[in-house]
Structure 1
Amino acid sequence: MEVIYRILNVTLAILFGCGGVIGLFYLANYGINALPKPWDRHFLPWAYIAPAMVILSTYLIVPTIQTIYLSFFDERSENFVGLNNYIFAFTNQAMLVAFRNNLLWLILVTGISVSLGLIIAVLVDKVSYESIVKSLIFLPMAISSVGASVIWKFIYAYKPVEDDQIGLLNAIVVNLGFEPIGWLVERSVNNFALIAIMIWLYTGFCTIILSSAVKGIPEDVIEAAKIDGANSWQILWRITIPMIRSTILVVSTMMIILVLKVFDIVFVMTGGNQGTEVIASRMIKEIFNFRNFGRGNAIAVILLLLIVPIMISNIRQFRAQEKIRE
């Protein structure tokens, strides 16, 4: 009976959802056609984007304004405390560790993922097994961050010296004659261990995007450089990178946005403990663990302010690419 009830709910949702969209389209079209000219032409775009704008305002703009408003109140959102929550965010030791870790993530994940993606894209360009290599490298993108974290948790698994190691990495370390390492508890390596997961996940993404850009370089330019005596290294630095610079910047900004929002890997692997806190995980702790909504909202606003300039830069890069294509 429960299965039938669920199927009925799904069916009704599809019917009313699709029917509602179709009905909205015909209603907007009928209303625009009823208007006198030239008003119909002026109102036509607004009639179709109005529903999207309403939904965007309801689920994005209004919550954003509310978050900014609540960031100036205390833990129960009752008393106005001014900038106290922001002062806490930039002076608290745990927050400073989170900022430091996020900076480390930004430098290593963005730098290594984009660099590896570019190197692989250039190396496998026009070889017979290119599609196989790119498929294998892109394969981790099919796994969610949580799923990848669970996989790597087994790889990083640690047991005392006298026990058999069930973690792949520690099994290799022990077989080489060294003592096992607590990859997720040793403060000297745990952040790098988490960063490696994100690099593994997104290098394939960078490779695919940059590979498309590399293939867009005119073949006669490469041939002319080879005739002039340029070697592969010179072609890479003097031709390939300058000609796909806009794509590299777009991919880099996208990676920066993803890194600034990283949460699930840290949450699954360490819970933000042992010095692995990042901004997003600290925000979740303040709101759900400590029930301090003022501080949590302030951290969310700081995260938003860090991401917005990068998003604007990304949009400008997309527009610049579109102008070049035109």
Structure 2
Amino acid sequence: MKGDKKYIFLFLLPAAIMMTTFVYYPFFKSFYLSFFRTTGFFDKKYVGLDNYERLFSDGLLGAATLHTLEIMLYVIIFQVGLALVLAVMVDSIRWGKTFFRTVFFFPIVISGAAISLLFVLIYNFQFGLLNGALESLGFDKALWLSENSALKSVAIPTVWHYVGFYFILFLTAMSKIPSDFYEAAKLEGITGIKKTLYLTIPLILSDIKVVLTLAITGTLKVFDFVWILTRGQNQTEVLGTYMYKKALIDLNFGYGSTIAVYIVAFGVILSIVTNRLLKKEEITY
């Protein structure tokens, strides 16, 4: 057993080094810099809690938080919801599961930047796909990235990008449910939507918790879609773009690091709240 533990440690060591280098060290470095006023070069000055005082009086940060929460709402309803519906539909068919797995998962292998550039062309006012379709139907062109509609337009590729990932997670969870459960439910006359509501969903509740946590925390990292489509202007400023502007455009690394700490803390709080709201005795099989 002692020899086995040694090998386990050796296998875990590379992952531990990677996590320390690319996750824990940057976070603690950001936490350290949040107590300084610095441009990232040689002008570091200790300012105590000044950055945090500024944080809680920053109206732009509040607006960015609200915009992030709005996108989070779209993600929970449409991204996770659509993934669950697609998984239920595909799980109910006998043939073609591999085809649908591939088709629905495909967007996740494309980079967010590439998808953003694709939607830049789709939303283009002069020759975009959407306005071309509207003109062919006899309607006037629309400004898809206007101040009133930009955030919703940004949310569409954000939602579409990860639907396939959560679809695979749900479908994998459903494939582990014993067929005996469904056969017994069929004998009791539980079919269709009732089977989904009273059998499938309760049995994959733990997986739903995981997906919701991933979706919520993933929304806090949204950057590429917003930046490429709108540069985070007006009504599309989110936490990721605001942190980027403060740290790398305004060269205020101290305040940018403070925003980074805020994003991490906000994500942890949301994860805890999500788990508490979904706290329920899970069904095992």
Which of the five TM-score ranges fits, normalised by the shorter chain?
0.7 to 0.9
The residue aligned with 2:48 is 82
Query: Which residue of 203, 206, 213 maps to 1:253?
Result: 213
- 1:94 paired to 2:60: yes
SS of corresponding position for 1:303:
helix
Aligned residue type for 1:61? Y
> Please, which runs of 5 or more residues in structure 1 have no aligned partner?
1-37, 160-165, 316-323
Query: Which whole-Å CA distance do the structure 1 matches of 2:11 and 2:136 have between them?
Result: 65
Query: Which residue of 117, 137, 141 maps to 1:176?
Result: 137
Equivalent runs, 1:166-315 vs 2, <5 Å: 166-184=127-145, 186-308=146-268
Aligned residues: 276
Superposed displacement of residue 217, structure 1: 1.6
Residues 173 and 245 of structure 1, relative CA distance in 2, 3 Å threshold: same
Give TM-score, length-normalised by structure 1.
Answer: 0.75
Aligned residue type for 1:270? T
SS of corresponding position for 1:91:
coil
Work out whether residues 148 and 235 of structure 2, in 8 Å CA contact, stay in contact via their aligned partners in 1. Answer: no
Superposed displacement of residue 62, structure 1: 3.4
Residues 214 and 306 of structure 1, relative CA distance in 2, 3 Å threshold: same
Give TM-score, length-normalised by structure 2.
Answer: 0.85
- 1:110 paired to 2:76: yes
> Please, which runs of 5 or more residues in structure 2 have no aligned partner?
276-283
What's the CA shift string for 1:68-117, capped at 9, x where partnerless?
Answer: 12112224463332323223333222211110011011111133111111
Aligned residues: percent identity? 32
Deviates more, 1:275-284 or 1:56-65: 56-65
Query: Which whole-Å CA distance do the structure 2 matches of 1:45 and 1:220 have between them?
Result: 37
What's the CA shift string for 1:145-184, capped at 9, x where partnerless?
Answer: 000001111111113xxxxxx1111112233333222212
Work out whether residues 266 and 272 of structure 1, in 8 Å CA contact, stay in contact via their aligned partners in 2. Answer: yes
Superposed displacement of residue 188, structure 1: 2.0
Greater radius of gyration (CA): 1
- 1:72 paired to 2:69: no
- 1:158 paired to 2:118: no
Work out whether residues 75 and 293 of structure 1, in 8 Å CA contact, stay in contact via their aligned partners in 2. Answer: yes
